[in-house]
């Protein structure tokens, strides 16, 4: 199967790269590292002005009616510049949850607001180290949520959340309105503060049921989010690899460029291979979103992208040597983001287990 973007998709990619390249500010991102509860409002304003939150929202709800491939294209461009806000992909996941499982009233109320960027959607499924807890500590009863979700990405500023919560009939997927005083947020200091990770305490937060079979519904949304995140990881890996390659070609040691040494050449070649494998996995998954085996493809994309970004960011530090570890260089921005994205929606151990289970079901 050919995985070549068509003309309109290539135009989206080129325009996203152009806009974000001009808007990228390493000093602003570094300043965010020392703040808790702040994100790059300039980046988010660009997203809203370009209509990126509306990419996968149906046209009838004020969106562009595109798909996961286009969402991935934008996410990949955002990954290249280490975007300073987490809401683009999480908002996509929330809109997908509402579109797939919500009733007409929920779709009418929330999808236009998400598409317009007026509401920032976040995903609160995990608890502790479990991306899909079978016995959630948060409880949903009589239209209200009680309990705590820990380390929620975007939790410091999200307006609307999909939450995996316990009910009398088992785990359910619910939609929580975070605009009221019933939700308390405790921001967590991390090495990537622009992700706005926060513990969220629900004390009667208004919510509505999306899906009674919460685990299966949450797994569906998590797979969609994993593919979008895989594209972002690929973009980051591309950018940090390009920096390492350029430095190896221009930096001389013992009378020849670093790129002439086998240890450097082999490392860069391995990085290139990992990135291309991750790219093909991510694009294949996005292209086959309606395939019965989509969960399998999503897990493979997530695993490959995490390995590619982790390896490329770590190896770039080695290529740059001592310079790579300085605050003046930008490599640590990518290494922070690589590690953050690697755990936000489940680490590779979780996704490897998911892939194994998918393969077992096929036997």
State the pLDDT at residue 107.
98
Residue 104 binned pLDDT confidence (cut-offs 50, 70, 90): very high
d(CA 224, CA 195): 19
User: Torsion-angle region of residue 113: left (phi > 0), alpha (psi -120 to 50) or beta?
Assistant: alpha
Res 1 pLDDT > 70: no
Query: In terms of residue numbers, what domain contains 84?
Result: 7-115
Res 317 pLDDT > 90: yes
Please indicate, yes or no, if residue 358 is contained in any of the structural domains: yes
d(CA 146, CA 131): 19
Alpha carbon separation from 74 to 66, 215, 242 (Å, rounded): 12, 28, 19
Residue 23 binned pLDDT confidence (cut-offs 50, 70, 90): confident
d(CA 299, CA 311): 18
The reply to whether 125 and 182 lie within a common domain is yes
Residues of the chain with pLDDT > 90, as a percent, come to 88
Res 308 pLDDT > 60: yes
**SS3 call for 181:** coil
State the pLDDT at residue 262.
87
Res 357 pLDDT > 60: yes
Res 51 pLDDT > 70: yes
d(CA 108, CA 92): 16
163-168 average pLDDT score: 97
The reply to whether 153 and 221 lie within a common domain is no
Please indicate, yes or no, if residue 150 is contained in any of the structural domains: yes
The reply to whether 178 and 91 lie within a common domain is no
Res 339 pLDDT > 90: yes
State the pLDDT at residue 251.
85
Among 67, 100, 115, give the residue marking a domain's end. Answer: 115
Among 72, 96, 115, give the residue marking a domain's end. Answer: 115
Residue 106 binned pLDDT confidence (cut-offs 50, 70, 90): very high
State the pLDDT at residue 60.
96
The reply to whether 265 and 311 lie within a common domain is yes
Residue 327 binned pLDDT confidence (cut-offs 50, 70, 90): confident
CATH number for the domain that contains residue 292 = 1.20.140.10
What is the tally of structural domains in the chain? Answer: 3
Average pLDDT, the chain: 95
Among 179, 212, 245, give the residue marking a domain's end. Answer: 212
* 65 token code pair: 């009616």
The reply to whether 164 and 65 lie within a common domain is no
d(CA 308, CA 323): 22
d(CA 164, CA 201): 14
Of 242, 319, 228, 306, which is closest to residue 274 (Cα–Cα)? 306
285-295 average pLDDT score: 96
Alpha carbon separation from 126 to 100, 131, 199, 200 (Å, rounded): 20, 4, 11, 12
Please indicate, yes or no, if residue 198 is contained in any of the structural domains: yes
d(CA 307, CA 237): 10
Res 88 pLDDT > 80: yes
User: Using one digit for the tens of pLDDT, what is the confidence trace for 244-274?
Assistant: 999 999 988 888 888 778 889 999 999 999 9
Task: Please tell me the pTM assigned to this model.
Answer: 0.96
Res 2 pLDDT > 60: no
Please indicate, yes or no, if residue 2 is contained in any of the structural domains: no
User: Using one digit for the tens of pLDDT, what is the confidence trace for 199-225?
Assistant: 999 999 999 999 999 999 999 999 999
Angle in degrees, CA 157, 232, 122, rounded to 5: 25
Angle in degrees, CA 162, 165, 168, rounded to 5: 140
The reply to whether 23 and 107 lie within a common domain is yes
User: Using one digit for the tens of pLDDT, what is the confidence trace for 108-119?
Assistant: 999 999 999 999
314-323 average pLDDT score: 91
CATH number for the domain that contains residue 24 = 1.10.540.10
In degrees and rounded to multiples of 5, residue 121 shows phi and psi of -90, 140
Residue pair 224/68 in contact (Cβ under 8 Å)? The answer is: yes
d(CA 153, CA 30): 19
On the CB side of 235, CA atoms within 13 Å amount to 26
Of 166, 157, 85, which is closest to residue 125 (Cα–Cα)? 166
CATH number for the domain that contains residue 186 = 2.40.110.10
Helices 7-23 and 41-50, interaxial angle, to 10°? Answer: 150
d(CA 195, CA 341): 10
Dmax over Cα atoms in the chain, in whole Å?
73
């Amino acid at each position: 199967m050919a995985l070549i973007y068509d003309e309109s998709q290539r135009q989206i990619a080129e325009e996203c790269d152009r806009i974000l390249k001009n808007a990228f500010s390493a000093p602003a991102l570094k300043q965010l590292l020392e703040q808790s509860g702040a994100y790059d409002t300039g980046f988010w304003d660009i997203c809203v002005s370009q209509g990126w939150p509306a990419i996968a929202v149906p046209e009838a709800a004020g969106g562009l009616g595109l798909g996961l491939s286009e969402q991935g294209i934008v996410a990949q461009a955002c990954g290249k510049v280490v975007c300073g806000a987490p809401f683009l992909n999480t908002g996509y996941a929330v809109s997908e949850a509402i579109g797939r499982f919500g009733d007409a009233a929920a779709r009418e109320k929330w999808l236009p607001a998400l598409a317009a960027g007026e509401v920032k959607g976040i995903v609160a499924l995990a608890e502790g180290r479990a991306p899909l807890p079978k016995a959630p500590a948060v409880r949903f009863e009589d239209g209200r949520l009680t309990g705590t979700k820990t380390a929620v990405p975007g939790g410091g500023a999200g307006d609307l959340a999909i939450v995996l919560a316990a009910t009398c009939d088992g785990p359910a997927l619910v939609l929580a309105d975070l605009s009221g005083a019933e939700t308390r947020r405790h921001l967590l200091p991390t090495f990537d503060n622009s992700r706005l990770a926060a513990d969220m305490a629900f004390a009667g937060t208004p919510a509505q049921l999306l899906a009674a079979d919460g685990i299966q519904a949450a797994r569906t949304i998590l797979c969609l989010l994993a593919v979008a995140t895989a594209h972002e990881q690929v973009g980051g890996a591309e950018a940090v690899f390009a920096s390492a390659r350029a430095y190896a070609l221009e930096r001389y040691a013992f009378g020849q460029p670093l790129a002439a040494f086998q240890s450097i050449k082999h490392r860069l070649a391995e990085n290139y291979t990992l990135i291309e494998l991750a790219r093909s996995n991510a694009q294949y998954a996005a292209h086959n979103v309606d395939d019965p085996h989509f969960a399998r493809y999503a897990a493979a994309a997530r695993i490959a992208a995490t390995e590619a970004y982790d390896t490329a960011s770590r190896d770039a530090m080695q290529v740059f040597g001592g310079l790579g570890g300085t605050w003046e260089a930008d490599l640590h921005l990518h290494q922070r983001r690589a590690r953050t994205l690697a755990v936000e929606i489940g680490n590779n151990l979780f996704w490897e287990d998911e892939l194994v289970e998918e393969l077992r079901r096929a036997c």
